[in-house]
Homo-oligomer: A and B are copies of this chain.
Amino acid sequence: MNIRVQKLFEAIFTLEDMREIYRGSIPTGLDKGEETAFDEKIAELKAIIGELEENKGTARITKIAGTLDIRSREEECINIQPIQAAGRLTPEARKAIATYGDGYSTCDACRKPFRLDKITKPGIADFHADLAEYVHMDVARVVPGARRGFQAVAQSLVGKGDSVIVSALAHYTEFLAVEGAGGIVKEVPLDGKNLITPDATATKVEEVIRETRKTPALVMMDHVDYQNANVHDIAGIAKVAHQYDIPILYNGAYTVGIMPVDGKALGVDFVVGSGHKSMASVAPSGVLATTDEWAGKVLNTTAMIGDLTKRKFGIKEVQMLGCTLMGGTLLSMMASFPAVKERTLHWDDEVKRSNYFIEKLLSISGSKVLSEYPRKHTLTKVDTTGSFDTVAKTHKRRGFFLSDELSSRGIIGEFAGATRTWKLNTYGLREKQVHYLADTFIEIAERYELPIIG
């Protein structure tokens, strides 16, 4: 590991040990033994800072809890892993979990009516309002991942045997949410451009009605699919859904938190986003937003009464199971949120950088892009069967040659060994990082004498 990065972690770890001394003390102050331990830790810390400053030294700490490696790939490398890019924490989120990591750290000031989204200190109630506004819906809840948002909606709206319209590229978690509710997925086919069209959706709805003699209970549609990251016409699809009086859930796992999302303008009934995928948050986290019209149905409060005690927990929402994200996950979302709102305004720049890279990749003869192009997103599926795979065919490391070449240059997150079709994500990379990334691919191509076009 880069010695300065190593020392940054060691300094953080030493500070955590110092916090622990305070945690074991009494409020009147440290005792002699604690003072001594604290002084020793200060000395250690100063030595680490010295090494940090001089950019030398060796690793003092290599494992956490005896087994876990220090994860330094984000500091040391450029990470193009398809699903990790927009879930990387902001520094503010990292600071927030340093102080709010403890289990129920959100609950210090929980007062009547005892529900997470009502807590005002820290400003969780305001955050919920901000979240709803951010996706332009009436009401929002935080959930343990987008999938738990799908589940909440499916459990509320989908009955046994009901059909749910999804994309032919629907994420597996949509399948599972529908299955858990007892429903059946019905996939809308893609057109020649790998897009779900409103027309195809209408045709599918008609087909399902004809076959099952029942209107589908729900449409669940990915604005940006996880395979090609193409941008589908959600507004048009929503119109179709509503023509049949079917509510529509917008899967924004690849949009909410990185690009502007206006649920009202799109005409959708539910907006679901992922904290750990696109909102720079600790997993599992996410958002479920809806309209006033649907809130009563999906965010219904409990009606269960203890048969014996007559106990009621009236304010608790059944699908949320009461409180959802009671600590570090939520606080990371909240701490990242100002940066998330800001970065949403610069989505165009992200797309530009994505296209910059893809253009360079396409200049390596034989390379193709399988996603729509020019790109409208930072996640892209590429096909290098005609370029890097031709090298892999005869290389003793096979497809891993590319991983080797990339990782030796500090690029990680490609699917190790894959040289045919694979995905990458440039989200969040700075200008110079994207240039470095593109240059590296060109350099590797040149090394293996793959022709460069133009």
Residues A318 and B176 in contact, CB atoms below 8 Å apart: yes
B276 touches A318 (CB 8 A): no
Known pairs A23-B74, A98-B9, A176-B302; A338 contacts B66 (CB<8 A): yes
A98 near B13: Cβ-Cβ < 8 Å:
yes
Q: How far is the CA of A45 from the CA of B13 in the complex (A)?
A: 15
B282 A175 Cβ-Cβ under 8 A: no
* Chain A to chain B contacts (Cβ below 8 Å), 25 pairs: A4-B22, A4-B38, A5-B22, A17-B91, A19-B75, A26-B436, A27-B411, A27-B436, A49-B49, A65-B337, A68-B334, A81-B107, A81-B108, A86-B103, A97-B328, A103-B275, A106-B283, A144-B148, A172-B322, A179-B318, A184-B307, A186-B307, A186-B308, A188-B308, A282-B282
15 additional A-B residue pairs with CB within 8 Å, beyond A103-B275, A104-B276: A12-B15, A23-B75, A31-B432, A64-B92, A67-B334, A68-B123, A68-B334, A70-B99, A72-B99, A81-B104, A103-B283, A147-B321, A168-B306, A283-B326, A284-B325
Q: Is residue A178 within 8 Å, beta carbon to beta carbon, of the partner chain?
A: yes
The answer, yes or no, to whether A24 is at the interface (CB within 8 Å) is yes
Partner of A64, one of B28, B335, B433: B335
Chain B residues near A49: list those with CB within 8 A.
42, 45-46, 49
Nearest CB of B to A430, in Å: 5
Interchain nearest-CB distance for A454 vs B (Å): 24
CA distance A328 to B319 in the complex (A): 24
**Complex contact B71–A100 (CB within 8 A):** yes
Q: Is residue A260 within 8 Å, beta carbon to beta carbon, of the partner chain?
A: no
Name the B residues within 8 Å of A26 (CB-CB): 78, 410, 432-433, 436
* A281 touches B (CB below 8 Å): yes
Residues of A within 8 A of B (CB): 2, 4-5, 8-9, 11-13, 15-20, 22-28, 31, 38, 42, 45-46, 49, 52-53, 64-78, 81, 83-84, 86-89, 91-108, 122-123, 144-145, 147-148, 150-151, 155, 168, 170, 172-173, 175-180, 184-189, 275-277, 280-284, 302-304, 306-309, 311, 313, 316, 318-319, 321-322, 324-332, 334-339, 409-411, 430, 432-433, 436
The minimal Cβ–Cβ distance linking A173 to chain B, given in whole angstroms, is 6
Name the residue on B nearest A274 (C-beta). B103
Given the known inter-chain contacts A83-B104, A123-B67, A185-B307, please indicate yes or no for A144 contacting B18, CB distance below 8 A: no
Contact yes or no, A284 B144, CB < 8 A: yes
A277 engages B65 (CB within 8 Å): no
The residue that A91 contacts in the complex, of B8, B19, B38, B76, with Cβ under 8 A, is B19
Closest to A436 in B: B26
The complex places the Cα of A184 from the Cα of B302 at a distance, in Å, of: 12
Contact B327 A276 (CB under 8 A): yes
Are A430 and B24 neighbours in the complex by a CB distance under 8 Å?
A: yes
Known contacts A322-B176, A327-B282; is-contact A309 B99 (Cβ 8 Å):
no
Identify which of B66, B102, B185, B338 contacts A306 (C-beta below 8 A).
Answer: B185
A27–B78 CB distance below 8 A: yes
Measured CB to CB, the nearest residue on chain B to A312 is: B175
